[in-house]
Amino acid sequence: MNTLNKVYLTIIVIILTSCSSSELVEVWKNPDIDSFEANKVLVIGITSETDARKVFEKKLTASLKKNGVKSEKSIDFFEKSFTNSPKTEKELLAMESKLLEAGFDAILLSKVVAIEDKVTVVNAYRNMDKDFRNFKDDYYQNQSIYYENDYYEEYEIYHAETSLYCIYPDKERELIWKGSIDITEPENIKKATGDYIKVLIWALKGQKLLIVEDEITNEDIDL
């Protein structure tokens, strides 16, 4: 990441965290990619809470579309039974092929990867330090979150992560960008989701990913 991008992200964090329950704490961007635009993006929120998943995917796709990015919710695209049971790597490869046939060339995958201040620490910091270079491995290793109904109880801070994957048919399916965001008010789903998405969209804009913005404007800061 060059100096200009670091300064840009620092400004974003200062502006957003002054009135936000979410904070961008770490970013990684493929050094071989300066900018990335997709024709169609699939938005996936991995969580056992169906209502929270619906709210998150609905708000994120709406925000992407507002910024000129064609996107679709996984809760609409997947068959209802898709997340009812763990999928094998072979099944995930078949799913990627189905996405390509439907015109998708990118995936935004979001999940909670670690927690703090849980009364009984179970699955804490699972996969926090693991680097997934493609969508299949990331989804495969984290899909059990769908089935852990107590995964989000009694937490003070959620360490969440969103990864942007390219699935071009004629290129290696690779990780383009990853951002880690801390959520400090997880009990308020509506506010936490809105704040998370605002931070995420700003980060993507700053890195020239999916959304292309020439400059920061006051109109964009909708807090």
Domain ranges of the chain: 3-211
pLDDT confidence of residue 141:
75
Which residues are CB-neighbours of 107 under 8 A, at least 6 positions away? Answer: 41, 42, 44, 99, 135, 164, 165, 167
Burial 28-66 (b: 16+ CB within 10 A, else e): ebbeeeeebebeebbbbbbbbbeebbebbbbbbbebbee
Encoded amino acid at 113, one letter: V
- Quote the mean pLDDT of the chain: 76
Question: For 66-75, what is each residue's pLDDT tens digit?
Answer: 999 999 999 9
Region 1-17: mean pLDDT is 44
What phi, psi does 53 have (nearest 5°)?
Answer: -65, -45
pLDDT confidence of residue 121:
37
Pick from 50-64, 102-116, 177-191: least confident:
177-191
Question: pTM of the prediction?
Answer: 0.72
pLDDT beyond 80 at 156: no
Indicate the SS3 state at residue 100: helix
